[in-house]
């Protein structure tokens, strides 16, 4: 009998502790920190590139549950991997992992299938992928028998930043009964956990049948199950996306997979067996800059350097440069992270405190925690390159075949200069082409649209002038990406 494996990728995180690279509009799962693939793409590839033996396993395209704000990033990164048939479930509001998994299980179940779900966060890194895949097949065999399986990471230090899982009695095939989930310990307790050998780090990766999760969430949290079912029943299909009904989903309580179900199964002698499989595969949740420095190659002085970096008499530091020349002399144990619009300098021991910076940015109504200087859109991206009183300058890059919405602005006019490629411009009742070094003017209050009819990226310098230059001064009339508010 063929065992169908359905990857479920939970992509709701914001990665605040990896600021300033990771930001709300473009968080860490969409960035490539280790290798050429982004963390999301790494997560999908761990399963999709498998050629499982024995051959009774069949792997389906991934289901991704993500924030509506990130929908185009998910779709584009899956498209780059060759997936045009994945289900992307959009959460209109963040409600933690239990509702996210419930939506995925119910969506899969509505198609008349009962596959084994492999539930993974989108932002983890695993070094030894082949070993992970083998353990995954071991877990799938247990799940095929009705068990709920999670992976516990074999600890190599007394970590206080992770929750733990206590192993119970041996269940065979290097599996153990799941005795208990344990909250993040203090340093002394973490040392005792490590010494005992009975505790594993909680990975947040789960393997179980879709029907088993649906039954358990209905039993233990019927409020979550009911709210998700109602919201999904009212969902609308929008291209690659399944738009969950916002009004119905807003009534769903927020809870994690652990609290909602797994803790109730741990150590229980009920009809569902909860197991933990130890995993020792070079796992990291990349939850901070110091964690990243542990998985990147280091020089002879223990430094990790990325970008245009010069280090002299520097030791055990992480030196990241995105745009400018970065020099570090006579320093140790530092995190120095440079981006276009922000620089972070912190001691390695204070890596977890980076979140205080994003909290400050929120409280002071700044935008550096939300957007990068380069802001990604479904048609391409734009980057601010200058601003002053009543004007700002942007560089727009429009992908081949892409089209911006038909729109107008109430408070600004725009000048467009073509730097590279060919632009098709709609301005009022006119439609015309612009080549390199040609320009046009869009008066305030006039409907307009920009398209790239060519086969190479279109680069535009846009000069905006007016009394208000905010991104919310856009009235859309037509939009191929369905961004028009109802």
CATH number at residue 423: 2.60.120.10
C-alpha–C-alpha distance, residues 165 and 427, integer Å: 62
Q: Is residue 484 part of a domain?
A: no
CB 242 within 8 Å of CB 72: no
Residues 188 and 279 reside in one and the same domain: yes
Same structural domain, 257 and 353: no
The answer to whether residue 242 scores a pLDDT higher than 60 is: yes
The pLDDT value recorded for residue 161 is 87
Q: Tell me: pLDDT of 400 over 90.
A: yes
CB 170 within 8 A of CB 176: yes
Give me the pLDDT at residue 54, please: 53
Question: Could you tell me if 153 and 272 lie in one domain?
Answer: yes
pLDDT tens profile 420-447: 999 999 999 999 999 999 999 999 999 9
pLDDT at 485 over 70: no
Q: Is residue 366 assigned to a domain? A: no
User: 51 pLDDT band (50/70/90 cuts)?
Assistant: low
What average pLDDT does the segment 263-278 reach?
Answer: 85
Q: 50 falls in which pLDDT band (50, 70, 90)?
A: confident
Residues 131 and 213 in one domain: yes
Which three-class secondary structure state does DSSP give residue 13?
coil
* Domain count within the chain: 3
> Considering the domain boundaries, does residue 483 fall inside one?
no
- One DSSP character per residue, 302-365 reads S-EEESSEEEES-BS-EEEESSS-EEEES-BSEEEEE-SS-EEEEEGGGGGGGHHHHHHHHHTT
Residues 144 and 29 placed together within one structural domain of the fold: yes
The band of 269, judged by pLDDT with boundaries at 50, 70 and 90, is: low
Confidence of residue 271 (pLDDT cuts 50, 70, 90): confident
| pLDDT above 60: residue 173 | yes
pTM, entire model: 0.90
Q: Is residue 39 part of a domain?
A: yes
My answer on whether 70 and 136 are in the same domain is: yes
Same domain membership, residue 441 and residue 394? yes
Question: Does 486 have pLDDT greater than 60?
Answer: no
| Domain carrying residue 473 | 374-478
Decide: helix, strand or coil at residue 23: strand
Average pLDDT value for the chain: 93
Query: Helices H, strands E: what count in the chain?
Result: 12, 31
Residue 256 has a pLDDT of: 95
Q: Are residues 440 and 330 in the same domain?
A: no
Q: Residue 131 has which token pair? A: 């070993």
Please answer whether residues 341 and 373 qualify as being in contact, where contact means their C-beta atoms are separated by less than 8 angstroms: yes
Q: Are residues 258 and 117 in the same domain?
A: yes
Q: Which long-range contacts (CB under 8 A, 24 or more apart) does 326-331 make?
A: none
Residue 368 lies inside a defined structural domain of this protein: no
14 lies in the same domain as 34 = yes
Count Cβ atoms below 10 Å from residue 361 Cβ, excluding itself. 20
Helices assigned H by DSSP within 364-404: none
């Amino acid at each position: 009998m063929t065992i169908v494996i359905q990857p479920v990728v939970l992509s709701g995180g914001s990665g605040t502790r990896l600021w300033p690279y990771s930001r709300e509009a473009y968080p860490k799962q969409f960035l490539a920190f280790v290798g050429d693939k982004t963390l999301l793409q790494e997560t999908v590839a761990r399963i999709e590139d498998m050629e499982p033996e024995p051959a009774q396993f069949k792997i389906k395209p991934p289901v991704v549950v993500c924030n509506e704000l990130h929908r185009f990033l998910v779709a584009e990164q899956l498209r780059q991997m060759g997936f045009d048939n994945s289900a992307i479930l959009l959460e209109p509001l963040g409600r933690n992992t239990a509702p996210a998994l419930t939506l995925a299980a119910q969506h899969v179940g509505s198609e008349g299938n009962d596959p084994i779900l492999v539930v993974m966060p989108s932002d983890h890194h695993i070094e030894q992928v082949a070993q992970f895949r083998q353990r995954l097949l071991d877990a799938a065999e247990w799940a095929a028998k009705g068990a709920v399986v999670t992976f516990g990471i074999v600890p190599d230090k007394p970590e206080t930043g992770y929750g733990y899982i206590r192993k119970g009695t041996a269940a065979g095939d290097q599996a153990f009964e799941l005795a208990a989930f344990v909250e993040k310990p203090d340093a002394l307790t973490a040392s005792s956990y490590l010494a005992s050998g009975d505790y594993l780090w909680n990975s947040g990766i789960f393997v179980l049948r879709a029907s088993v999760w649906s039954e358990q969430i209905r039993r233990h949290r019927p409020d979550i199950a009911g709210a998700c079912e109602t919201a999904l029943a009212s969902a609308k299909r929008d291209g690659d996306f399944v738009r969950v009904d916002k009004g119905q989903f807003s009534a769903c309580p927020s809870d994690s997979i652990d609290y909602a179900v797994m803790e109730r199964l741990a150590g229980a002698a009920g009809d569902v067996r909860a197991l933990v499989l130890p995993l020792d595969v070079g796992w990291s949740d990349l939850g901070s800059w110091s964690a990243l420095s542990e998985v990147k190659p280091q020089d002879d002085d223990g430094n990790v350097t990325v970008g245009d970096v010069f280090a002299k008499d520097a030791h055990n530091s992480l030196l990241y440069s995105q745009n400018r020349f970065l020099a570090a002399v006579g320093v140790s144990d530092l995190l120095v992270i440079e981006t276009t619009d922000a620089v972070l300098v912190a001691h390695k021991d204070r890596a977890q405190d980076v979140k205080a910076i994003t909290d400050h940015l929120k409280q002071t109504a700044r935008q550096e925690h939300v957007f990068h200087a380069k802001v990604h859109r479904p048609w391409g991206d734009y980057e601010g390159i200058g601003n002053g009183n009543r004007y700002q300058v942007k560089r727009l890059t429009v992908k081949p075949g892409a089209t911006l919405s038909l729109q107008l602005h109430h408070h600004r006019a725009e000048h467009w200069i073509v730097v590279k490629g060919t632009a098709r411009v709609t301005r009022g009742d006119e439609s015309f082409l612009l080549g390199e070094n040609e320009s046009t003017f869009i008066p305030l209050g006039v409907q307009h649209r920009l398209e790239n009819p060519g086969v190479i990226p279109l680069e535009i310098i846009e000069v905006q002038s007016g009394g208000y230059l905010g991104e919310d001064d856009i009235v859309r009339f037509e939009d191929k990406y369905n961004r028009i508010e109802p």
